[in-house]
Structure 1
Amino acid sequence: MTTLNADTTPSLAASSTASTGLDPTPDVATLRSIATRVRWLSTAIVDAANRGRPNVSGVKAGGHQASCASMVDIMVALWFDALRREDRVSVKPHASPVLHAVNYLLGDLDPKYLPTLRELGGLQSYPSRLKDPDTVDFSTGSVGIGATAALWAALAHRYTAAHFGDTPPAGRFVSLLGDAELDEGAIWEAVADPQVACLGELLWVVDLNRQSLDRVVPDIQIERLQGMFAAAGWQVVTLKWGRAISELFARPGGAQLQQRLETMPNEEYQRMLRAPGCEVADRLLAGQDGPALSELVGSLTADELAAIVRDLGGHDLALLTQTFADVDEHRPTVVFAYTIKGRGLPIEGHPNNNSALLTAEQMSQLAGASGTSLDDPWRTFAAGSREADLCLERAQALRREPTPTCRDLDIPTSLGREHRTAGSTQAALGRLLADLVRDAPGMADRMVTCSPDVASSTNLGGWINKTGVWSATQRRDWFADDGQRVLRWSEVERGRHIELGIAEVNLVSLLGELGTTWSRWGQRLIPVATIYDPFVSRALEPWSYGIYAGGQSILVGTPSGVTLAPEGGAHQSITTPSIGLEQPNCVAWEPAFAQDLEWTFLEAARHVGVPGGTSAYFRLSTRPIDPALANLPDDPDLRERRRRHAIAGGYRLSSHPAGADQVTLVGVGAIMPEVIEAAQRLADQGVCAGIVVLTSPDLVFRSFQQRGHVSGGHSGDILGTLFPAHAPAPLVTVHDGHPHTLAFLAGARGDRIRCLGVSEFGQSSGLADAYRLHGLDAASIVDAALGLTGH
């Protein structure tokens, strides 16, 4: 671990802290001038959103002027000196106005957007890769998730570069995050992953302003944080003090001054920042003995002393630029940069400044100090000035080439496998992936699978044996000569499976970044992750956030529901169907039969990694089902008709027309054998029951929302096909999930409905007992149907 201050920086006479009255070097002086303007612009962006436009709703626009101010110097050192065009940066959520201010000075943002923060069609509240009008590398806003995105993007780039020789090069992957963000578990799950220690292109900069949303953090615990990163193999650099105060530490009494500042509680330090300059000396000397300290403090004016206690490493531009230039690129690096929240603003250091906004008078004073005015808040630098020249120079240096266009990819509609023996959809997925290597090699080349230590138990073994496990570094296979080994776990740079530890958040975060390679580097991937379905909820937020940020992928949850009955309530998932149905930019599937899985999976893959594409969620089962129950037509035209209905959301299994239904049984996934058995029992009692198989309640609901009007989407008018308006009938829906999932079908034609499903925690049992316990067995279905028909 390294702490940089006076030992590695120029003397006091070359200090970059202009407020000390010392002359900065020309280059640093230019950076300081730009930082002053960036601080003003970011503050004015938030001000314009709150005081600059009418508020008819009474809901404030909000913003974080103090959180922006603490990041300004760090970001100026990066964008105006350290970054290269190949670098990618994740910016902490509350610093989005700083990013927009920087982009504006670099000519990457039209000035018309500067007053539009948090306005429809304007600048987003937090950096958004897809919704902001300027360059944003990573969407942030979900604390901890955006910070780790750069890490997973680095891994995704390494994967594409290892497999495709025409992948554009990448530089550093930088994350700028607040110290309070380190409380998030997602951070440490990512840092601790074994593959991360070799990613020398990673650079994290922690804005250590020692304030969170509601308080001054009472204990920095910097040693603990440093140790945790170091234990994971990271280089740890700490920028605690700037150059000016570091030189004072070397003078007589300096050691006592350093000890005094470094041992005082955070709250006391923050309070000292709020005190008038004339009180700083007394506060520093309170309870201290020794003439050397008193003499040193007394040698400085009140203004010099007030400036010197603010001279932190995260605000020393020369120290920052030197640090970024000297980073060891052979291992990941974290820089802890000490800063002041609200640096340079009237709300500097205030314990409740997180959402505080400057008044009109304060804004006017800040404008004057920043060399601008409220009448012309978006003023840029005069042409020919050092600042304007540097902005032009850096704009050119950072300008990126357009992303290459992805090559066309041939994805078949079917692989032609004959599904003749009983099997589960989970096993069918494993066979399908293995078949791709032979039957669709072009698609297989672009397929990458991931799992959190459950590859073998989710049937990825055949795929892994054929394609290998990818590793950022080649590893020796010590079991290569073991003849009894079934799963060949060869970790090679050309492998197509990525195995992570048991950390579902890592899994879906990586999945999201693998799903953006088509738009970042012109390399289309079809990322597929398998996860135990009960743990989908645990991974929901980062998975959803990855989709929001533009990641397209396929998430497979298996096994699902209470069908894996012996596992009991601990491994039961009953809300996941609703999760899939309600997730934007994602299609949820739950096929019952192997052939349905093949069709729907290939259809889902077609929409991954393309402009306007979507992600997919598959809910699969370990229950073997006889494929003969699907009554698949032999006629090619009828089989193709079945396929089109299956990929639209469902199909009718009954041989009689819908108009003959006295009741319609609607089933999803693994429960279909009970639905089919119930229909036969009803027929034996003289009740004609139709059978509808839903492969995607999600797409059927979309069709319901469209009210039967074809809109060019996935589903079209599948609702009208399955439930024709001219043939109303009572409905019994059956699902190994919460019964509410299919309740919307009652509104299709106004039919009476009974929804069967799981709404209680389960317990270990046999399958028949589990279905009977939750009312999913054939007898329960028959009873519900007879109740609706009045028999």
Structure 2
Amino acid sequence: MDTTSVRPAQEAPDRDAVLRNVERRVLWLATAIIDHANRVRPNPTGLKVGGHQASCASMVSIMTELWFERLHAGDRVSVKPHASPVLHAINHLLGELDAEYLTTLRSFGGLQSYPSRSKDPDPVDYSTGSVGIGATAPIWGALARRYVSSVINSPSPENNNTTETATPAPGDGGGGGRVGVGRQYSLLGDAELDEGACWEAVLDPMVGELGEVVWIVDLNRQSLDRVVPEIGAGRLQGMFASAGWQVITVKYGRLLEELFERPGGDGLRRRIDAMTNPEFQRLLRCTPAQLRDRLPGDDPALRSLVATLDDATLHAAIRNLGGHDLHALRNAFDAIDDSRPTVILAYTVKGYGLASEGHPQNHSALLTADQLADLARNVGADPADPWAPFPADGPEAALCAETAERLRRPAVPASAPPAVPADFGRTPTGTKSTQAALGRALLDLTRSAPDAARRVVTLCPDVSSSTNLGGWVNKVGVWAARERRDWFEDDPETILHWRERPTGQHLELGIAETNLVGLLGELGATWSRWGEPLLPIGVLYDPFVERALEPWSFGIYAGGQSILVGTPSGVTLAPEGGAHQSITTPSVGLEQPGCVTYEPAFAIDTEWTLLAAMSRLGRPDGTSAYLRLSTRPVDQGLAAVPDDPAARERRRRQVVAGAYPLLRSADAPDLTIAAMGALVPEALAAASRLESLGTSVDVVCVTSPGLLFDAVQGRSGLAKADTWILDAAFPARRAAPLVTLLDGHPHTLAFLAGINGVRAAHLGVTRFGQSGDIDEVYRHHGLDTDSVIATALDLL
């Protein structure tokens, strides 16, 4: 096992004393921020405000050492959710957060519950709060920075055709340029490692090359409700080491290390190493007399050692862990090997320095007024003036000023994203699927708008060929930190060419959707981090969108703008059957904040919506998009794209806005069919047969239920949204009973009946899929043309 144990070293006492004073002030501020929110600020509702004083306390030493001794301006840090008050306390000491904000934790418009890039008033590198996702974000941030350095900051677009190798220096993030260099730190709790997202990221082969990634685990051995019963450090060491990570363990502080050298010290080490987590935690709650009885066990030499210690030393020794020893932490940082990722397992005490330290139920416990007063006395603070600064002429203020200057980052120069064409000007013919149209549109972009195409980066979880990205991959190549030989380049039967090089524009991760969208979010945030906008597009099977939704949603929350493409979708993937067919994803896209969802029916709709979605990326007012595509081939002539340029542009605007009339009856209609995606052919066929039965029908092709719902809300004054599309697609003068139809849950389009207050029936999929041919599957779910006609006649 490749692990490194670090022993603390001595350092000049003056620097140590100043740093300890800063550490104590950080502990006080973090604790007082939470106390003020819960006990001082008026709370007329009586609802608990919350906060995590104990979780903050266990991180104070780690974050003090990291910020005031280690970080540089180019570094980025993801802070565990419950330690947000520590981050705010440090930012306040560095002059990045006014004192007026320290009283606003969890208040409207104030400091957020968990660190937020988009909502907190002070510098936050990564939004956290969704356990496991914030921890992995710096991994994807490191990859995003390397990508921008090697692709966007390379000398010219022609580099996409070069065979030269761009090798990054160890730990430098892949080069300099506008994105700079620096480490990517994650500060996470040990319980956070229970999340599968952490291990999916750790195990991805691409991560093993990221020497700038450093995880620091707050190993306090407590979760929300309990002390974790088993000693898990050895297991964690083995798991990280097996994945190729450097493992550094910081277990004991200077006092314990000194005691280990005394007679009986070997027994003390063995005793602490062997005891269970609950037993150790119980010792933290013992009086010195109880410690003298419980700690030695049946070891007479250890009992003799304990007898030589006064009460204060004994009390300090049992909680003298490496995660609270600044020197041990400093030596751990010095030992980092920049050629591979590093994890530092820092043993800590949850609630260290507080009256609640070590208690199994201290997770969200608050200090009493008396306990807060005791803490103030211990750290030299004044409860009557909790935000008092350090004396301006003192060494602590000087250290804060020195640190602030070291960490000051220059303003990010804004860089407008390249212009994306609205229309390629061609009209697809023949029979095509919307999935196939995706790959064609990307290739057309390389010819029509090379500057925009150069900013496109695609991602797949090992499904490039099966989602029609093969042509694009062959054109732009696969991104890799170093060029790798394509051993199948001369194989005549090889269709997909896997040319890996530092200027490639396609990234392929393993089959882990969480990793895919985590990287997608960070690639979508480069516009705000370094002023380098990208147009990231992630493609995965639509049935797995929901698996990826939570981390993708969190990436949007954190400012990442990207396009997620789900394909193939619905029960049109008939032979697959079972749960391998998506049902709820249309409504998921409708309901996702910060995202416009599209489900095009035709190739031209796919191009127009994709281009519109790309034009909204990489800008302060930008938004993400979700495209739900199908493998079902559709006759493109059914799209009836107007030849007249003005009429064509009108159609395009309607497609992008959410819906367009595809078929209008000569007279006022008896019925309207609103259909979406791959089921538009069934709607048109049903309309034709109904016309032959004397029923006049309008057919409306819906491309974005979300945009239509926004328009409905806007018309009611409940949202800010354009409403013209409602009059264009569903004019009141043509209001008629409505049948909605989609390859997904029918409630997605049910709200359309409310536009004009008409009777309606809604067809879709409400059961798990079945294998079979598409006609059989459509009949099973009531999506076939006969079912549409029967439903329409019943409605009428």
Equivalent residues in 2 for 1:269-308, closer than 5 Å: 269-286=280-297, 288-290=298-300, 292-308=301-317
Q: After the TM superposition, which of the residue ranges 217-226 and 573-582 deviates more from structure 2?
A: 217-226
Match of 2:773 in 1: 766
Shift of 1:322: 2.4
Contact 1:708 1:719 in 2 (8 A): no
Return the alpha-carbon distance in structure 2 between the equivalents of residues 741 and 28 of structure 1: 62
Match of 2:393 in 1: 384
Q: 1:91 aligns with which of 67, 74, 79?
A: 79
Q: Does 1:733 align with 2:744?
A: no
Shift of 1:5: 4.5
Q: Secondary structure of 1:51's partner?
A: helix
Q: Does 1:665 align with 2:653?
A: no
Return the alpha-carbon distance in structure 2 between the equivalents of residues 650 and 788 of structure 1: 23
Q: 1:182 aligns with which of 185, 193, 204?
A: 193
Q: Does 1:252 align with 2:253?
A: no
Return the alpha-carbon distance in structure 2 between the equivalents of residues 703 and 453 of structure 1: 38
Equivalent residues in 2 for 1:90-489, closer than 5 Å: 90-165=78-153, 166-286=177-297, 288-290=298-300, 292-489=301-498
Match of 1:700 in 2: 708
Return the alpha-carbon distance in structure 1 between the equivalents of residues 650 and 668 of structure 2: 21
Return the alpha-carbon distance in structure 2 between the equivalents of residues 515 and 88 of structure 1: 17
Q: Secondary structure of 2:217's partner?
A: strand
Shift of 1:745: 1.0
Match of 2:169 in 1: none
Match of 2:637 in 1: 628
TM-score by length of 1: 0.96
Contact 1:34 1:76 in 2 (8 A): yes
Change (3 A) 1:343 1:498: same
Q: Secondary structure of 2:577's partner?
A: helix
Contact 2:671 2:698 in 1 (8 A): yes
Shift of 1:281: 1.6
Return the alpha-carbon distance in structure 1 between the equivalents of residues 493 and 767 of structure 2: 43
Contact 2:417 2:534 in 1 (8 A): no
Shift of 1:410: 1.4
Q: Does 1:613 align with 2:601?
A: no
Return the alpha-carbon distance in structure 2 between the equivalents of residues 140 and 295 of structure 1: 48
Counterpart amino acid of 2:513? E
Shift of 1:90: 0.1
* Paired residue total: 772
Shift of 1:479: 1.1
Shift of 1:408: 4.3
Q: Secondary structure of 1:537's partner?
A: helix
Q: Secondary structure of 1:761's partner?
A: coil
Contact 2:665 2:696 in 1 (8 A): no
Equivalent residues in 2 for 1:596-611, closer than 5 Å: 596-611=605-620
Q: 1:780 aligns with which of 757, 771, 787?
A: 787
Return the alpha-carbon distance in structure 2 between the equivalents of residues 167 and 775 of structure 1: 56
Q: Deviations over 1:638-688 (max 9, x none)?
A: 11110111111010012446x611100000000011000000000000100
Return the alpha-carbon distance in structure 1 between the equivalents of residues 701 and 360 of structure 2: 59
Match of 2:752 in 1: 745
Counterpart amino acid of 1:599? W
Shift of 1:708: 7.0
Change (3 A) 1:126 1:590: same
Return the alpha-carbon distance in structure 2 between the equivalents of residues 686 and 212 of structure 1: 68
Contact 1:66 1:343 in 2 (8 A): yes
Change (3 A) 1:745 1:629: same
Return the alpha-carbon distance in structure 1 between the equivalents of residues 228 and 426 of structure 2: 61
Change (3 A) 1:244 1:177: same
Return the alpha-carbon distance in structure 1 between the equivalents of residues 179 and 786 of structure 2: 60
Match of 2:684 in 1: 676
Contact 1:561 1:574 in 2 (8 A): yes
Shift of 1:91: 0.1
Return the alpha-carbon distance in structure 2 between the equivalents of residues 265 and 408 of structure 1: 56
Match of 1:42 in 2: 30
Match of 2:160 in 1: none
List structure 1 runs of 4+ shifted beyond 4 angstroms: 708-713
Match of 1:542 in 2: 551
Return the alpha-carbon distance in structure 2 between the equivalents of residues 708 and 60 of structure 1: 35
Shift of 1:36: 0.4
Identity among equivalent pairs (%)? 59
Match of 1:77 in 2: 65
Match of 1:68 in 2: 56
Q: Secondary structure of 1:494's partner?
A: coil
Contact 1:195 1:472 in 2 (8 A): no
Shift of 1:600: 0.8
Q: Secondary structure of 2:578's partner?
A: helix
Structure 1: which 5+ residue stretches go unaligned?
A: 15-23
Shift of 1:627: 0.7
Q: Deviations over 1:142-195 (max 9, x none)?
A: 000000001100000000000122432120000000000000000000000001
TM-score by length of 2: 0.96
Q: RMSD of the TM alignment (CA)?
A: 1.3
Contact 1:710 1:717 in 2 (8 A): no
Q: Deviations over 1:610-645 (max 9, x none)?
A: 111100000000001011001111111111110111
Counterpart amino acid of 1:690? D
Counterpart amino acid of 2:355? P
Match of 2:5 in 1: 4
Return the alpha-carbon distance in structure 1 between the equivalents of residues 294 and 661 of structure 2: 81
Change (3 A) 1:712 1:704: closer
Q: Does 1:648 align with 2:649?
A: no
Q: Deviations over 1:742-774 (max 9, x none)?
A: 111121111000000000112101101111111
Shift of 1:712: 7.0
Shift of 1:570: 2.8
Shift of 1:474: 2.0
Return the alpha-carbon distance in structure 2 between the equivalents of residues 618 and 534 of structure 1: 13
Shift of 1:3: 4.3
Contact 2:417 2:618 in 1 (8 A): no
Q: 2:594 aligns with which of 585, 591, 603?
A: 585
Match of 1:21 in 2: none
Contact 2:443 2:471 in 1 (8 A): yes
Q: Deviations over 1:57-97 (max 9, x none)?
A: 22110000000000000000011010000000000000000
Change (3 A) 1:712 1:118: closer
Q: Does 1:554 align with 2:583?
A: no
Return the alpha-carbon distance in structure 2 between the equivalents of residues 673 and 547 of structure 1: 34
